[in-house]
A and B are shown apart, each in its own frame.
Chain A
Amino acid sequence: MKNKKNLYTLISIVLVFLFLVYANKNFDSYQIRIMNLCAIYVILGLSMNLINGFTGLFSLGHAGFMAIGAYTTAILTMPLAVKESNFFLAPMAAPLNSIVWPFVPALLLGGLLSAAAAFVIGAPALRLKGDYLAIATLGFGEIIRILITNAQRVTNGALGLKGIPDTTNIWWTFGIAALTIVFMTLLINSSYGRAFKAIREDEIAAENMGISLFKHKMLAFIIGAFFAGIGGGLLGSLLGTVDPKPFNFMMTFNILFIIVLGGMGSITGTVISAFIVTISMEALRVLDSSINLGFMVIPGITGMRMVIYSLLLIVVIIYFRRGLMGTSEFSWDKAFEFFKRLPLSKGGAKNAVTKNK
């Protein structure tokens, strides 16, 4: 039975791979960009879920970590000529104006710097609990954004950076997303993952079972920030431009929505909902343009989709507090059971009958 399941897993991986090959060839650039965004949101969602969902720390500083990753990758990978044309207000600070790094080391350094920032902010902030931690980390995210806006000679301030090499393609984003999924799954199922969950369930009991709260909270916070930095770096490289504006609270809120919808504390849920949310955000763009209902015309209001989106969040929080998956994960057994229970399938109807008796 176990071999059979491994076979199914292998087949699914091959199918996903073939789909990506197909998509890469036949999808237009808009669709491919959405695919890339989905994968990046998987990385960001998982990194936030480790902190908020698995360890139970209510942190809202994710946009800050992403900004650090995005700017690090952008600054290090931009060719010298592009740097010069970007920094026309004030010349770029040395030695940044004369170095160009390859993509992977730049991305990794982005992650590491983000993790370092998490270490610095975490040391004081993780002594706080609940709402207080949320406010402190929210403040941290804003501080990072303001710092970036004002560090003219390093980040080009509010003008942002344009012409970042578009190294990111479907293989980078989905490859790194896959690595993130594998790493998070392994981490969560290890003794450390159990310790994180124990802290989420009951801090006092966890501490009395010999788990150092501070050490484990820091660990989750730093690992989460590392992957947020990587996700930010990929995002910058995908969009080709970064500026401080998008890294505001709304960015954190988007990712928070993904993990709440998917289920706080479920890797499967986060992956599924990253795709749902990213794709539906694009699909809902219709709402921003004017809509003709036949009897009346709703004029296009920019931001209309955000209203719908917020309403959806409220509905999810009121009626589906545990999200799509709660804290459970995908397994082949559960998948088969799910399909068996569908009334249209053979076994399903039979089961329904026997149950009625």
Chain B
Amino acid sequence: MPLLKTNNVTMQFGGLTAVNDFNLELNDGEIIALIGPNGAGKTTAFNVITGVYKPTKGNIRFNEQDITGLRPDQITNKGIARTFQNIRLFKDLSVLDNVLIANHLNVKSNFLEASFKLPRYNKEERIMREKSLALLEKVGLVDLRNEKSSSLPYGKQRRLEIARALATNPKILLLDEPAAGMNPKETEDLTLFIKQIRDEFNLTIFMIEHHMQVVMGISDRIYVFDYGVTIAQGTPHEIQNNPKVIEAYLGVSEDA
């Protein structure tokens, strides 16, 4: 059984079908990419999986459970975390606080225990602090832990967003254009980084990306969207030689 499976997921906004009969299968440990021209419905597909939108049709199964129509926080609790296309950090808060907040879903103490620092909460707070610092260490931001998150350079903000998503203990990590706006060196680092966290945290990664270098370099399989329709899927090699994909990206030659 795949870890995550969507069955004919369709998302309509009025007359516009943003995602049409999307059938995704994510197997444990895979890195899967979703590509397509701008406005193809890639981010909408992410939003449907993470519960921001409820699909018009179809269902989503995660770990053999139906998660269609759950709220985003419930879906994160089940083990699907995400980053955003236009970075959404908690800007006014410190780097460490950003990661600590993502640990809040594991807090069992109620607000009174937390306010009066009762033993159960103290233990939870200590564990989440240790865990967050370890995560920041891994993404190379531990020295910046007390900085305001909005003061970090762009590439580091992206890393922090990934660290924050990892703090929720996900099984699947959804990355929305992780390499957007990065220079070639940063892109290369990111590719290695994604592989590294996949192995270290036993993740399955599903990402939207435009950088073909990243996509072709690390994906096990690729899905291609055009106008909400899955026009192709397969290994990087198959996708590169698929005429439909070339057509969607480059258009058709008139002579042909």
Q: Quick one: closest B residue to A326, CB to CB?
A: B92
Decide yes or no: A191 and B93 within 8 Å by CB, A205-B84, A208-B50 being known contacts.
Answer: no
Within 8 Å by CB of A210, from B92, B105, B124, B128, lies B105
A178 within 8 A of B: no
Q: Give the CA-CA distance A183 to B128 in the complex, in Å.
A: 22
Q: Which residues of A contact B111 (CB under 8 A)?
A: 187, 190, 192, 219, 223
Q: Does A198 contact B (CB under 8 A)?
A: yes
List B residues 206-223 near A (Cβ within 8 Å): none
Given A210-B168, A212-B71, A194 and B101 contact (CB-CB distance below 8 Å): yes
Nearest CB on A from B141, distance (A) = 17
A186 near B: Cβ within 8 Å? yes
Residues from chain A with Cβ under 8 Å of B125 in the complex = 190-191
The answer to whether B116 has its CB under 8 Å from any CB of chain A is yes
Q: B103: CB under 8 A from chain A?
A: yes
Residues in B whose Cβ lies below 8 Å from that of A207: 71-73
| Cβ–Cβ contact A210 & B76, under 8 A | yes
Answer yes or no: A197 CB below 8 A from chain B CBs.
Answer: yes
Given A209-B104, A209-B164, A209-B168, A187 and B73 contact (CB-CB distance below 8 Å): no
Nearest-Cβ distance from residue B59 to partner chain A, whole angstroms: 21
**B168: chain A residues within 8 A (beta carbon):** 209-210
CB pair B107 A191 closer than 8 Å: yes
User: Pick the contact of A209 from B71, B101, B114, B117 — CB < 8 Å?
Assistant: B101
Q: How large is the interface on B (under 10, 10 to 19, 20 to 34, 35 or more residues)?
A: 35 or more
Nearest A residue to B112 by beta-carbon distance?
A: A187
Whether A204 sits at the interface, judged by CB under 8 Å, is yes
What is the distance, in angstroms, from B228's C-beta to the closest C-beta of chain A? 22
Contact A192 B103 (CB under 8 A): no
Residue on A with the closest CB to B97?
A194
Q: Which of B128-171 contact A (CB under 8 A)?
A: 128, 164-165, 167-168
Identify which of residues 204-226 in chain A touch chain B, using a CB-to-CB cut-off of 8 Å: 204-213, 219, 223
Of the candidates B71, B92, B128, which one forms a contact with A327 in the assembled complex, judged by CB atoms under 8 Å apart?
B92
Chain A nearest CB, measured from B246 CB (Å): 35
Q: A186-B117, A206-B101, A209-B104 are in contact. Are A201 and B73 (CB under 8 A)?
A: no
Expressed in whole angstroms, the Cα–Cα distance for A205 and B52 within the complex equals 11
Check B114–A198 contact: CB distance below 8 A: no
The answer to whether B89 and A211 have CB atoms under 8 Å apart is: no
Q: Are A195 and B104 in contact (CB under 8 A)?
A: yes
Indicate which residue in B50, B81, B88 contacts A202 across the interface (CB closer than 8 Å). B88
Q: Which of A191, A211, A327 contacts B124 (CB 8 A)?
A: A191
Q: Which residues of B are found within 8 Å of A209, using beta-carbon distances?
A: 73, 76, 81, 101-102, 104-105, 164-165, 167-168
Residues of B within 8 A of A (CB): 50, 52, 71-74, 76-77, 81-82, 84, 88-93, 97, 100-105, 107, 109, 111, 114-117, 121, 124-125, 128, 164-165, 167-168
Given contacts A194-B104, A208-B72, 10 further A-B contacts (CB under 8 A): A186-B117, A190-B111, A190-B115, A190-B121, A195-B104, A202-B90, A207-B71, A208-B82, A212-B73, A219-B111
Q: Which 10 A-B pairs have the closest CB atoms?
A: A210-B105, A210-B76, A190-B114, A201-B90, A205-B88, A186-B115, A207-B72, A187-B115, A209-B102, A198-B101
